[in-house]
Every structure is written in C-alpha cells, then in structure tokens.
Amino acid sequence: MALIEYTKEGRIAIFTLNRPDKMNVLNLEAMQRFTDLLKEFRDDDDLWVGILTGTGEKVFSAGVDIKDFLPMIRRTPDHKWQRPTAIMRGMDLWKPMIAACNGLTIGGGLEMALACDIMIAAETAKFGLPEVKVGICPGGGATARLPRTIPRRLAAEMLFTGKTISAQEAYRIGLVNKVVPLPELMTEAKKMAETICEAAPLAVRCAKELLLRGMDVGLDEALKIEDDIQTYILGTKDCEEGFAAFAEKRKPEWKGK
C-alpha cells in the first residue's frame, strides 16, 4: 500500500495521504515520498494544479508520526539542518496547490494544508494546532503561515491554546475558502483546479510567486519584483496567444511557453 497515492487527471495532480489506520500521519518515509512527489509535480510541464487530500471520511491528517519523528529530533538537537524542513519550504513550487480537507486537520496536517494556496473543507472537518498541549510548539511552518493567513490575534489564540475549531469557524475567520458537504469535497476541489487550468499556466505561476515573495518585502520592493516578472510574462507565447484569442473572441490554447 502506497503511503501517499499520486494520480493524474488531465492537468491536475492528486496527492492522497494514505495511512487511514494511523490518522494519515506522515512517518519519515512518507515525508520523503511526499517531497519527491511534489518535485515530480513541479517539474512536469503537463501538470498545472495539485490537490492534496486524505484517505477516508474522518481525517485529512493528524500530522507526523511522533514515534518516528521524536527520536530523530532528540538525536539532532544541534543539527537542525538534518531534520525535514517545513512542508514545501525552499522548493520554489509556483504551481497552485489546493488542500481538500476531508476531516480532522490538526498539527502537521494543518501545516500541510497551510502550505497549500487554497483550502476547501468538508462540513465535518476540524482544524487545530494542539502541539502546546503535549509540550512542543508547531515546527512545520504554522507559526509563520497561520498569521499570514488569518488575523494575528486569532492565530495567536490557536497557537497558544491548542484549541480545535470547526469548518464553519475556519471559514468565518478566513482559514478556508469554502465549506461543502463531504460527498462534494473532491468534486469542488477539482472544479476549482479546472477553473485555474482555464487561465494561462505561466501567468498563474507568476501570480503565485508574486503573492508569496511580495508578502515578505516592503511595498516598493514588491512592486519592483512585479515589474520584472510582468516583463517576463509579456514576452511569452502564451501572452501572445491570450491577446490574439481576446481579439478574435475565441478560447485561448495555452502551451505553457
């Protein structure tokens, strides 16, 4: 049984966390497999959007396998660079990722979802970062990504208390984009992915890069980066095709070039 299933539907790649008997947690082997698959997706020109979900109807992911990770962390107190880094960190993955949260999304599971660009939740999903309740703090990107996703004070409350919130509350505070009945979750995620695929793929990737890079610099620097990337986009064949299709009132045929 694959720890992470990887399937392709047209331009869409689907990553499915597949340890239902272990609440879809990632052990070291699964973490490495996930990283390898993300790189494969990143480098495949035929794939434009990714969807991350979990097996089953109750759990998206409860994070990492503590039995696997804790001994490794204790062995490397002075060698942090030897540990797995935050999900998608340093990967330059500019293709959009959608998290389809089919159930409980806590700890490292929420950190994986936060590393995605769009989150769609089943009505039964719940979200939380309970690490402080067991004597640790989030270490997979949540302390950086959560306050960049929701208001800082709400992020502080979730991080400091370890409380779990409902899908409806997650939608109210802007943590997720949409809440749907569980049977409709993957249909909605694929619909979102297909909508993104209607746009020029290089333009979408540049938009994501600008979104992420622009958040970490001042306004003037962000505008300079935008100008540089816009200059690049204006020179692509897809841009030429987009303008031609608009003038000719037809659907564009994107090539990703």
- Helix or strand holding residue 226 (H, E): helix 219-234
Q: 157 an active-site residue?
A: no
Angle, CA of 181, 130 and 175, to the nearest 5°: 45
CA distance 65 to 73: 12
Contact indicator for 119, 150 with CB cutoff of 8 Å: no
CB contact burial 159-171 (16+ within 10 A = b; e otherwise): beebebbebeebb
Distance, in Å, from the CA atom of 165 to the CA atom of 238, rounded to the nearest integer, reads 42
Pick the catalytic residue: 40, 57, 131, 194?
A: 131
Active site residue 194: no
Which tokens belong to 167?
């899908």
Of 220, 212, 257, the closest CA to residue 237 belongs to: 257
CB-based contact 53:98 (threshold 8 Å): no
Q: List residues bridging with 101 in a β-sheet.
A: 121
Q: Residue 172 half-sphere exposure, CB side, CA atoms within 13 Å? A: 8
**Residue 141 in tokens:** 């990107």
Find the catalytic residue in 29, 111, 169, 194: 111
Active site residues: 111, 131
